[in-house]
Amino acid sequence: MRLKHSLKQGIFSLLIIISPVLTTVPASAQSQILRTETSVQTQEYGDIWEYRENYVPVEYNPIPEFMVFADMTILIFLIIIGLMFVIGHKPSRWLSVLAIISLIYLGILRGGCICPVGAVTNITMGILSPEMVGLATVIIFLTPLIIALIAGRIFCTSGCPIGAIQHLMYSKKRRIRIPEKINKILRIVPVLILAATIYAAVYSKYYLICELEPYKAIFFLGKSWTGQIINFITGQSVEAKLLWAMGITAWIYLAVILIIGFWIPRPFCRFICPYGVLLGFFSMFSIKRRSINGEKCNQCGLCQRACPVEAISVDRKGKTSSLSHYDCIQCNKCTDACKKGAIVFKGLRYDKSANDPKNLTL
Ligand code: SF4
Ligand code: SF4
């Protein structure tokens, strides 16, 4: 039984490592071909290159133009409400409501491209050539990072449509814990992807992370359908070919990540997302922070079992518990699980227990 379980864990870990490779090679090959094809063929494929030209916020110019304000307002609104829910110790299901709104509006209706994750490339290019990046992109990129400096990775649960899919799929019951050593190795991958994203942006203006993002197949399909439904209602032409988005590779990649995510929570966030590295880094210096009150905690491990990103470690022998601010995505599931009220969210200045090295790890 134990052997079977370890084998399962090994297979999933391997899948996580190779899944970006699975998609990158064919996607880049496909993109190479698409760049040389006519725009009519490109539309037919519904590939990311076609989508990028129209929707990725290089200049961020969605039609109608006022939508840029609607999108930014909703994103900022979700993050601020999320911040209030997290600091107010509200149940995790309250944050799930924000995740659902983010998934439906920013993901399915707006195509998932109102996205700080993809904006890593835009901002990198903008640092070199400021005319390549619009103010809206800068705001979308910076807002979650500024909020992370206040209270951690609020955006990851409350505002990110990519995170929302994974958040809503999470189940404590079927979750498999990745062995610590493998987990440590896998956590280096997003840092490497961040470096590769910056390198690709500087040297070829290539949106590496858009290729690696698995949920775009769902988002692009949602966006296509939204546009077609609006066209239908307003009496404009409806194009049958746009009722399907992305190629077979993208859908296979999505299926692989969804299957992994069924047992291993948040695979994209934990092992791929380069923006998560930046959010994690900023969270390490946040003014208000989640911590475990050493006096109340009895090391029962309930919070550890509830945490989807393995941000909590409990040492029963040493009678200590610690929480990684880099990893914590502010989902409040540990607060729900703890029966002793030991998970607290306080400002560093006022919370002596949060400064206790036993209770804080980065
Ligand atoms: S880690 Fe990345 S993808 Fe996941 S929720 Fe955070 S920003 Fe979104
Ligand atoms: S420690 Fe884990 S369970 Fe608690 S809020 Fe952070 S990510 Fe969620």
Point out the ligand 1 atom lying closest to the alpha carbon of residue 164.
5
pLDDT at residue 134 greater than cutoff 50 = yes
Q: Ligand 2 centre and the CA of 46: distance in Å? A: 37
- Would you say residue 332 has pLDDT above 90? yes
Domain holding 342, by residue range, is 290-361
Q: Judge if 14 and 118 occupy the same domain.
A: yes
Alpha helices in 175-301 (DSSP H): 180-186, 189-204, 208-212, 216-233, 248-263, 267-271, 274-283
Cβ–ligand 2 contact at 330 (below 6 Å): yes
Considering every ligand atom shown, identify the ligand nearest to the alpha carbon of residue 278 and give its number.
Answer: 1
Q: Is ligand 1 within 6 A of the CB of residue 161? A: no
**Residue of minimum CA distance from atom 7 in ligand 2:** 328
Say whether both 121 and 215 belong to one domain: yes
Q: Which ligand is nearest to the CA of 167?
A: 1
Q: pTM score, two decimals?
A: 0.79
- The reply to whether ligand 2 has any atom less than 6 angstroms from the CB of 217 is no
Confidence of residue 25 (pLDDT cuts 50, 70, 90): very low
Q: Which ligand is nearest to the CA of 140?
A: 1
* pLDDT tens column, 270-289: 999 999 999 999 999 999 99
Whether residues 259 and 307 fall in one domain = no
> In this predicted model, what pLDDT tens digit does every residue of 158-196 receive, in sequence order?
999 999 999 998 888 888 888 888 988 999 999 999 999
Give, for 9, the enclosing helix (H) or strand (E): helix 2-36
Question: Domain count of the chain?
Answer: 2
Asked if residue 302 has its Cβ within 6 Å of ligand 2, the reply is no
How deeply is 317 buried, as exposed, middle or buried, from its count of CB atoms within 10 A (0-12, 13-18, 19+)?
A: exposed
Total Cβ atoms within 10 A of residue 287: 11
- Residue 292: phi and psi, rounded to 5, are -110, 125
**One domain, residues 304 and 231:** no
Mutate to test the pocket of ligand 2, among 171, 307, 345 (most ligand atoms within 8 A of CB): 307
Rg (CA), the chain: 21
Cβ of 95 closer than 6 Å to ligand 1, yes or no, is no
Residues 174, 303, single domain; the answer is no
263 and 312 assigned to the same domain: no
Asked if 265 and 332 sit in the same domain, the reply is: no
Range scoring the smallest mean pLDDT among 45-49, 267-271, 345-349: 45-49
Of residues 231 and 311, the one with the higher pLDDT is: 311
In CATH, what number is assigned to the domain containing residue 322?
3.30.70.20
